[in-house]
Structure 1
Amino acid sequence: MAVLALIAVSLVIPSGCGFKDIDKRFFVVSVGIDKPRDPNKKFKVELKLAIPSGQERFGSNKYIIVSVESNTLTEAVRLAKSKVDKELDFGHAKAIVFGNDLFDEGTTLPEVMDWIARRRDIQMISWMGIGKPDALGVLSSNPQSERLPSNMLFMIFGQTGTETAYIVSEYLFDFYRRMNERGLDPILPIIETRDKDQLSVNTMTVFNKERRVLDLQPRETLILNNFYQGLSKTEILVKSGDIDLVLSAAKVKSNFTITGADSDKPVIHTITNVTASIEESKTPVSLDDLPKYEKAAEQLIEQRVAALFKKLQKAGVDPVGFGLRYRATHRVGQKEWDRWTAVYPNIEFETKSECENIGNGDCG
């Protein structure tokens, strides 16, 4: 009887105080982390809170942004709660944006990511990015085409709307993996605010395991993205001698192999296969000259790929995963890994490109 009475009481008493009705919640749709103005603080956290609308339509992206400066991210969120009348719910936080100046001095990547990775209600499929000039500007953008707060970011990185190889889409789970995986360094897209209604994403930044190391230009971003996401739908500017044209690539496939990995001078061989057609030309195009155009395009691609990899090598970063491939094909202990990191700065790159089936567009 005592047991039955205990069960009956447990059914009457609420199981906990953690549950809140939906009308008592603020849904955080994106999180910004900037460098604070107060020199005695370490972080400035911005939370973009969606305001529910009775009807979903263009321009109905109502929201508020709560900003707090603190020495820890945990404390910042607790202080943010004191500025609103509802419980903060991070279950819909699908974008996390770091300020462009956040990692300039003092602040390291691991101490920021520790809170993000541990927070159980932040989705590991959240999009990551760098906000330029700051994260607040990205979160404050108010495109008239948005129907939901931060929906422009979600569509850009999900490529459910626009599709371009200039946009690097980085998930939280992959970014965290890159932080902890030997032989693969973290990358993030750079989100620039042109004005209050427009965002631009066509560059990226590369980290080592601790700090931001190198920013890539749009053309370099495009090349690296072909190795990372394998995206096509890109253009290739070919200018050599009397050739001045633009190729539209319908298919781009990039891969690499490592030879002599156990020697003092390993060689990384890259191959880029391109299927394209001529989209624009400043000079008359002749079908008889298509092999010449293919050759010029191949040489240009090989030069650009080699230049990019040498730039990454000089900066001491490996976002493509050459070191990861080495680990996957060898039994690598600490001694072998130390040897690889020692030879990586002197590795040679042999780049090859095959440009096939170049058509001349719709012109006769």
Structure 2
Amino acid sequence: MNRIYRNVKFLLLISILIGNVILQTGCGFKDIDKRLFVLAIGIDQAESKGNHYKVTLKIALPSGSLKDSKGEMYTYLTKESSKVADAIRSLKNQVDKEFDFGHLKTIVIGEALLHDDITEITDIFLRRRDFQRISFVAVGKPTAEKVLKTEPKSEMAASVSLFNFFSETGVESPYIVTTYLFDLRRKMVEHGFDPVLPIIKVDKKSTKLIVDHSVILSDTVKPMELDSNQTILYNMIRNNLKKMELLIKKEDHEYMISIDSLSSKYKILTPTNQNPVIDMNVELIGIIEESDQHINSKELKQLGIHASNEIENAIRDLFVHLQEKKIDPLGFGLRYKATRLHKKDLFTEWEQELFPQLKLDVTVNVGIKSTGVIE
């Protein structure tokens, strides 16, 4: 009797499972021809009253062959709303397919929005699971919409320019700062580390994208823009670039050094009854890439010493500038908290007492191996 009862229960369970499978609608999955792949999103300040944001989506248009494809490769959708999520929802009413954000790798924020708190802008991208946390975040100048709609001639459907700038699989440049969404969020909520975003500029003819500046965001002061030389120094100290080029001027002599090995280290010293000091050491090794004068191999040591002094002065000037603005994109405050015994008001002590009195003791050593492949 028990055996018959178990068999009946088993058959009943199988029947229920089969019935559930048959009754499923299958709405959780969309075929590829029913989806629109969003490659980038731009967020600007709204132009109309009553709205806060202007959202622009860059959508790929599928084609049979990349080699033989003609016509437009992308389409753009724009909507203004008080919320980013509401703008995206409203844009769905303009298309006949479902948005797919699985390929979205670039989030561009308009320059005008930097004066506001961008926490609300990034909130949707951190909450929704269909946005990648490794998406690149950048600033669009003059607007994010103009950056997205600029299509350089080198851009292809399978090789989006915005991806190649920051992925390190395309162009490699010491002027480019790469900031991921998760890292931006971490630095926005963490004390002692101000986030840095790259700036994407559009040329006058709207045919090229230029990335050689960056901007520092802070809760206490206005955004501070770094020029191309300051951006290189930031990358040198913070990101330990794999390679870079330096233009050094010595009276009437100019020469370019190609750096192929770089290391930057520092530690924070707080001696008793003395001003705190950052002891920084930067090691650069490279070769002469170009010179407007003949260079003898015996001059390499002296040229390296001159280059070291020039870079030391540039780093000091940048540090003093950041200290005057009370911003810390290099993470000195976070390093101090991590290397000191925790106590009440530890960061307040750093921010109000130590950081304003901080001195920089930087030593740069530039080693020039050769004059290149010529003598």
Give TM class, smaller chain. over 0.9
Amino acid paired to 1:100: E
Structure 1 regions of 5+ residues with no counterpart?
none
Q: Secondary structure at the match of 2:114?
A: coil
Instruction: For residue 102 of structure 1, give the secondary structure of its aligned residue in structure 2.
Output: helix
Counterpart among 18, 21, 35 of residue 8 in structure 1 = 18
Report what 1:338 is aligned to: 348
* Aligned with 2:86 (options 66, 75, 83): 75
Q: Is 1:357 aligned to residue 368 of structure 2? A: yes
What is the CA-CA distance between 1:3 and the residue it aligns to?
A: 4.0
What is the aligned partner in structure 1 of residue 332 from structure 2?
322
For the Cα contact (< 8 Å) 1:58–1:147, is it kept in 2?
no
The whole-number CA distance in structure 1 between the counterparts of 2:318 and 2:356 is: 14
Contact 2:301–2:368 (Cα < 8 Å) also in 1: no
Q: Does 1:140 align with 2:176?
A: no
Amino acid paired to 1:25 = R
- What is the CA distance between 1:157 and its match in structure 2? 0.8
**Relative to structure 1, is the Cα distance of residues 299 and 187 closer, same or farther in structure 2, using a 3 angstrom cutoff?**
same
Structure 2: segments with no counterpart, 5+ residues: 1-8
Distance (whole Å) between structure 1 residues aligned to residue 119 and residue 68 of structure 2: 38
Moved more, 342-351 or 241-250: 241-250
Q: 2:337, 2:346 within 8 Å by CA — same for their partners in 1?
A: no
What amino acid maps onto 2:129 in structure 1?
Answer: R
Q: In the alignment, which of 82, 85, 102 is matched to residue 96 of structure 2?
A: 85
Cα distance in 2 for residues equivalent to 1:16 and 1:59: 33
> Secondary structure of 2:94's partner?
coil
Alignment of 1:271-282 (within 5 A): 271-282=281-292
**CA-atom RMSD, angstroms?**
2.1
Following superposition, the deviation at residue 91 of structure 1 comes to 1.2
Query: Which residue in the other structure is 2:358 paired with?
Result: 347
- In the aligned structure 2, how far is the partner of 1:51 from the partner of 1:266? 57
Q: Which amino acid aligns with 1:92?
A: H
- Alpha-carbon distance between aligned partners in 1 of 2:222 and 2:54, rounded to the nearest angstrom: 19
Q: Which whole-Å deviations, capped at 9, do the CAs of 1:158-199 have from their partners, x for residues lacking one?
A: 121221111111111111111122221111100111143311
Hey, what's the Cα distance between the residues in 2 that align with 1:279 and 1:236? 9
Q: Which one of 159, 162, 166 corresponds to residue 157 of structure 1?
A: 166
Rounded to whole Å, the distance in 2 between the matches of 1:41 and 1:150 is: 34
Tell me the equivalent position of 2:211: 201
Cα offset for 1:228? 2.8
Task: Go from structure 1 to structure 2 and tell me whether the alpha carbon gap of 1:349 and 1:314 turns closer, same or farther (over 3 Å shift).
Answer: same
Q: Which protein has the larger Cα radius of gyration, Structure 1 or Structure 2? A: 2
Q: Please list the CA deviations of residues 263-309 of structure 1 after superposition, one character each: whole Å capped at 9, or x if unmatched.
A: 66211121111112122222332222222211110100100111111
Partner of 2:245: 235
Q: Does 1:125 align with 2:131?
A: no
Q: In the TM superposition, what is the alpha-carbon distance from 1:16 to its structure 2 partner?
A: 5.8
Question: Deviations 1:320-359 (Å, cap 9, x if unpaired)?
Answer: 1111111211123441111011121221111110111342
Across the two proteins, how many residue pairs are aligned to each other? 362
- Cα distance 1:58–1:319, how it changes in 2: closer, same or farther (>3 A)? farther
Q: Specify the alignment match of 1:301 in structure 2.
A: 311
TM-score by length of 1: 0.93
Deviation at 1:201, TM superposition (A): 0.6
Moved more, 37-46 or 51-60: 51-60
Identical-residue share of aligned pairs (%): 35
TM-score (norm 2): 0.91
Is 1:215 aligned to residue 225 of structure 2? Answer: yes
Out of 139-148 and 217-226, give the one that drifted further: 139-148
